[in-house]
Structure 1
Amino acid sequence: MNVLAFDLGASSGRAVAGRVDGNRLAFWEIHRFENSPVRVGERLYWDVLRLFHEMKQGLLKARQTGFSELHSVGIDTWGVDFGLIGAHGELLGNPYHYRDSLIDGKLEEVCAILPKREIFARTGIQFMPINSLYRLYALKQSGSPLLEQAASFLMMPDLLRYFLTGEKKSEWTNASTTQLYNPLTRSWDEYMLQSLGLPAEMFADAVEPGQVVGVLQPSLCTELECPSLPVVAVGEHDTASAVAAIPALTPDFAYLSCGTWSLLGTEVPQPVLNDQALEWNFTNEGGVNRTFRLLKNIMGLWLFEECRRCWAVGGTRLRYDEMVALAHGAKPFQRFIEPDDPMFLHPAHMPKQIQQYCRDTGQSVPESAGEILRCVLESLAMKYRLVLERTEMLSGKRFSGLHLVGGGVNNALLCQCTANAIGRPVWAGPAEATALGNLAVQLIAHGQIRDIREARALLSESLAIKSYEPQEAALWNEAYGLFRQVTACH
């Protein structure tokens, strides 16, 4: 039984086919495509129609590469972003990118209307200016005709699924990231919507991962000359899919999904909504199998990727492996940044912003590319230690190591720095966790895999996981103290 996962990240997307093959989950990437935002004037948008075009190419390539008998399709994407559908079923404008500046200052405005404590008690979600709540509030405050004409609110995977099926449904793991969804009632929080003047009627009830939520539209089947296929709601927030694919053999584990964003936490049966979780700005996002992802969003390799982009604009093009080599050759522990400082959310020039942070905190200013990149990677590793320690305190668990999945698996220096910083092993892999979790949930829905526990055992058998052991404990402990001192005063 073959199934197809569309896995869309903030910089690229891909179509991955998979099936159970004996005692392993076999998978094949059959189509990869770029996902680049488009700036028009002051606004930053997602090119969602291009993404849908590439998904259609994925369906075509599946048939052309021997996967003509697919049994279902599933979609996972990043969170918080959304499209608005009008009364006649058409998309009202391209979805805004979460780094668009329209949200600037809106978090503070919303918290002046609804206290932070109340918002957290009702949603359990980390306060980040990119959350859907603040985008919707910004549209409301600006008198946007988009919001006035909207009949339906669809998160990015919901929107792409709507293009495939014509069915308008929400999915719970992604709905939970909006900061408008109540994890206790498992419904949109009507009190918050009413308090902010947002139309409750445009929000569809959220389905659970593993449910069939439609079939390919006849017009699409005619265009692509393909049979009708069920579309399964998977863990449609990409981190929910990634966590579903953690190759852990015990129920208690810590994970780091490391890509453009880093998300570090653990799986819990109920949301943690206490004052300490609020103070540390943790989040309780929906997970597969009615679990919650107690985690912290960390800025992640966006810092690394933006440096690369800025240098390329200036004429210096570096491959990813060249950047890692430059960082490796730089002297360690010279300076640190707080990766989540708001100045790094959408700067005009990331390397200059990192240099400015170092000036502002009285540290030596990195001059070379290697020095800047070493600063980024070491700072991320130190932040991972801080968040891991706080995750243990909030969950009441002690973790023997950290499962690292996603694109960060390919950065050996970051993996080793993380093991050194936390003083425990890092088990790196799979890089393809989001796509594999997507496939696994579809196969569970079809009865090919019994449950998520069996899926993780299959993945543990299927994949080569690389272990990084901690080194130079005394040096890293001393540097961690410096990191805490530098970042606490900024």
Structure 2
Amino acid sequence: MSVEERRSPVPPSDRRALIAIDLGAESCRVSLLRWHGEQPVIELVHRASNAPIENGDALEWDIARIEREIDTGLRRAAALATEGVRSIAVDGWAVDYARLDADGHLLANPRCYRDPRNVAAQAAVHLLLPPDRLREITGLQLLSINTLYQLYADQLAGFSHARWLNLPEYILYRLGARQIAEYTNATHTQLLHQRTRDWSPEIFDRLGLDRSSAATIVPPGARVGTLAPPLGDLPSLRGAELIAPACHDTASAVAGIPAHGDDWAYISSGTWSLVGTVLHSPIDTPEAREKNYTNLGAVGGRICFHRNVNGMWLIRQSIDEWRSRGREWTVAELIAAAETLPAPTALIDVDEPELLLPGNIPARINAQLTRRGLAPLDESPDNAPAFASLIFHSLAARYAQVLADISRIATRTFTRLFIVGGGSRNTFLNRLTAAATGLQVICGAPESSTIGNFAVQLASLEEGADPRTGVTAEATASWAALLQ
């Protein structure tokens, strides 16, 4: 489906390849963009599973393994890109970080955001800096996973003055970049002032955190170095520039949406759904706080204003339950079967706290229905399509409710809804969402973060990046359109 007319970018005269590295909490990917005539072709050249590891009472990332997999991916890309590689960029999940000694060497494995120490650290932080004030400064949801609480946990453990880099920036540094903090990723640390877009002296001072341990903030599209040896000695990789894209993978996924104007919203759909829009400045009204909306950095100095909604988590947890009872369902089978059923007569609250936890989701759905005086569903695995239908209809209704809230809070009228991420393949849920919202639903790329990563690279290389705001949102969207 078309977006409003904009000048299409001309394919660059420099037809060397580009590489995007996407770090995920479940998998890490290396993708290669090459030019076949006037057409860009994106190929996934390496994917490796990823998961945290237990080390005593700590939950950590095996960063050495992640680096080895990236090395493998880059070598495979180099073997394919005989024309040479022009640039490399890294995006990934936010909040987690690596600590470095004075010589720039890794001190220990990075902790995982699910590490149990964070909850106690959050409570300790709020004794020193009230939650309302913290929200006022940063415009963010106060999530225990945020970097701020992890850094304070380090401080409580007597480990607080070493330089820290969020993981995408750490990988860039390991490849040869200078030490930086990219803006979109920095916003998710809960250490950035939402108005000045720089580190908040008040937060650092009130909590006794070392300001010098934080790197200099750069915008999306900043050129931050050249690939170092030994990878930089490979003929195809020699001279490859290192670029900071939107290092936060959600911001990168939004950058992969080929949309201009202010009449569109997005759902980054996967295990969880991020439902929001892109603003020119943060919104932190009492209603936005009450309803848990957050303001995260976006390309072009803009803001991703969104909130978390449940997603395919409900289906995946249910599939696990049915498997334990002897029936194997795939997501595709459930979607196909659910489409044949009549619409449910009642819906569930998909964001009820009990439905956000691992476990027997069908039983919890029935418990919710029973509490509301509604008839429960047959929990036998053969009745799984009825649960799937209820979940999909309820998700669509929740999306519509959240989008109506955003439209009112942001005083915007939406006509288009872009759905990106793995959930964009769920055509049944997409149709239900279109019906519930009344919006034109446009299905974007399942790997939209890769598209956004490449789009920022191309915008930076071909059109330049402002030292403060980086590449423009307009240029990035135009390149994203070419890459779909």
2:333 to 296, 313, 322: 322
1:379-424 per-residue CA deviation (whole Å, 9 max, x = no partner) reads 3222211221111112211001311111111111221221122122
The match for 1:473 is none
1:207 is matched with which residue: 195, 198, 218? 218
Residue 32 of structure 2 aligns to a residue whose secondary structure is strand
Q: Which runs of 5+ in 2 are unaligned?
A: 1-14, 465-470
Partner of 1:248: 259
Q: TM-score, normalised by structure 1?
A: 0.83
* Aligned mates of 1:458, 1:154 — CA distance in 2: 29
What is the number of equivalent residue pairs in this alignment?
459
For 2:83 and 2:211, the matched residues in 1 are separated by 41
Percent identical pairs in the alignment equals 33
Would the alpha carbon gap of residues 250 and 183 (structure 1) be closer, same or farther in structure 2, given more than 3 Å must change?
same
Q: What whole-Å deviation, never above 9, does each CA across 1:198-224 have from its counterpart, x for those lacking one?
A: 332211121111111122222443599
DSSP 3-state at the match of 2:188: helix
Question: Cα deviation per residue 1:138-169 (whole Å; 9 max; x = unaligned)?
Answer: 444xx325x34x51121121122222226321
Q: 1:369 to 1:46 in 2, by over 3 A?
A: farther
- Give the corresponding residue for 1:14: 29
Q: Distance in 1 between matches of 2:205 and 2:372?
A: 42
Secondary structure at the residue paired with 1:178? coil
> Structure 1's 352 and 34: CA in aligned 2 closer, same or farther, altered over 3 A?
farther
2-structure distance, mates of 1:274, 1:354? 33
Comparing 446-455 with 64-73, which one deviates more in the overlay? 446-455
CA contact (8 A) 1:266 1:293 kept: yes
How far apart, CA to CA, are the structure 1 residues paired with 2:105 and 2:320? 34
1:51 and 2:103 correspond: no
Offset, 1:332: 3.7
Contact between 1:337 and 1:375, CA under 8 Å: does it hold in 2? yes
Tell me which amino acid in the other structure corresponds to 2:208.
G
Partner of 1:480 in structure 2? none
For the pair 1:290 / 2:301, whether they are aligned, the reply is yes
CA distance in 1, matches of 2:133, 2:349: 27
Residue 453 of structure 1 corresponds to 474
Contact 2:317 2:361 in 1 (8 A): yes
User: Which of residues 66, 71, 74 in structure 1 aligns to 2:89?
Assistant: 74
**2:157 equivalent among 129, 134, 144:** 144
Amino acid at match of 2:300: N
Q: Indicate conservation of the 8 Å contact 2:315/2:331, yes or no.
A: no
Deviations along 1:237-295, one digit per CA (max 9) or x if unpaired, are: 11211111212243432111112332221111111122222222211111111111122
For 1:435, give the aligned amino acid.
T
Question: Do the aligned partners of residues 67 and 181 (structure 1) sit closer, same or farther apart at CA in structure 2, a change above 3 Å counting?
Answer: farther
In the alignment, the residues of structure 1 paired with residue 169 and residue 320 of structure 2 have an alpha-carbon distance, to the nearest angstrom, of: 30
Gap change, CA 1:35 and 1:290, over 3 Å in 2? same
Can you give the 5+ residue segments of structure 1 that lack an aligned partner in the other structure? 464-490
Instruction: Tell me what 1:267 maps to.
Output: 278
Given that residues 317 and 359 in structure 2 are in contact (C-alpha distance below 8 angstroms), is that contact kept between their aligned partners in structure 1?
Answer: no
Aligned: 1:391 with 2:412: no
Query: Residue 215 of structure 2: SS of its match in structure 1?
Result: coil
Question: 1:281 and 2:292 equivalent?
Answer: yes
- Secondary structure of 2:257's match? coil
Q: Work out the CA distance in 2 between the residues paired with 1:305 and 1:224.
A: 44
How far the C-alpha of 1:106 sits from its partner, in A, is 5.1
Structure-1 residue corresponding to 2:46: 31
Where 2:406 maps in the other structure, the secondary structure is helix
**270-279 or 366-375, which moves further after superposition?**
366-375
Matched AA of 1:233:
A
Instruction: Write the letter of the residue equivalent to 1:144.
Output: A
User: Structure 1 residue 437: deviation in Å?
Assistant: 0.8
Partners of 2:178 and 2:483 in 1: how far apart? 35
**1:180 and 2:195 correspond:** no
Separation in structure 2 between the aligned mates of residue 172 and residue 265 of structure 1, nearest angstrom = 19
- Does structure 2 conserve the Cα–Cα contact (< 8 Å) formed by 1:331 and 1:371? no
1:304 maps to which residue? 315
Q: Is the 8 A contact 1:16 1:28 kept in 2?
A: yes
* Maintained 8 Å contact 2:272/2:308: yes
Give the RMSD, CA atoms, in angstroms: 3.0
The 3 A distance-change label for structure 1 pair 440 and 307 is: same
Name the residue aligned to 1:467.
none
The more displaced of 120-129 and 430-439 is 120-129
The 1:239–1:319 alpha-carbon spacing in structure 2 relative to 1, beyond 3 Å, is: same
Counterpart contact for 1:347–1:353, Cα < 8 Å: no
**Secondary structure in 1 matching 2:110:** coil
1:98-153 CA-partner distances (Å, limit 9, x unpaired): 3333333654554444333321221111233322223333444xx325x34x5112
Report the CA distance shift for 1:417/1:8 in structure 2 as closer, same or farther (over 3 A): farther
Secondary structure in structure 1 of the residue aligned to 2:462 = coil
Check whether the contact 1:335–1:364 (CA below 8 A) recurs between aligned residues.
no
2:427 alignment counterpart: 412
Matched, 1:189 2:200: yes
How far has the Cα of 1:28 moved from its partner?
Answer: 2.0
Q: Is the 8 A contact 1:252 1:267 kept in 2?
A: no
Q: 1:363 to 1:77 in 2, by over 3 A?
A: farther
Deviations 1:335-365 (A, max 9, x none): 6444444445553555555555555555544
Please tell me whether residue 380 in structure 1 is matched to residue 395 in structure 2. yes
Q: Does the 8 A contact of 2:317 with 2:358 survive in 1?
A: no
Structure-to-structure mapping, 1:213-228, within 5 angstroms: 213-221=224-232, 226-228=237-239
1:154 match: secondary structure = strand
Residue 194 of structure 1 and its aligned partner are, at CA, apart by 2.2
Q: Which deviates more from structure 2 when the two are superposed, residues 316-325 or residues 406-415?
A: 316-325
Measure, in 2, the Cα distance between the counterparts of 1:234 and 1:198. 27
Give the deviation of 1:326 after TM superposition: 4.6
**Do the aligned partners of residues 52 and 338 (structure 1) sit closer, same or farther apart at CA in structure 2, a change above 3 Å counting?**
farther
Distance in 2, matches of 1:266 and 1:251, equals 8
**Partner residue of 2:12?**
none
Equivalent position amino acid for 2:447 in 1: E
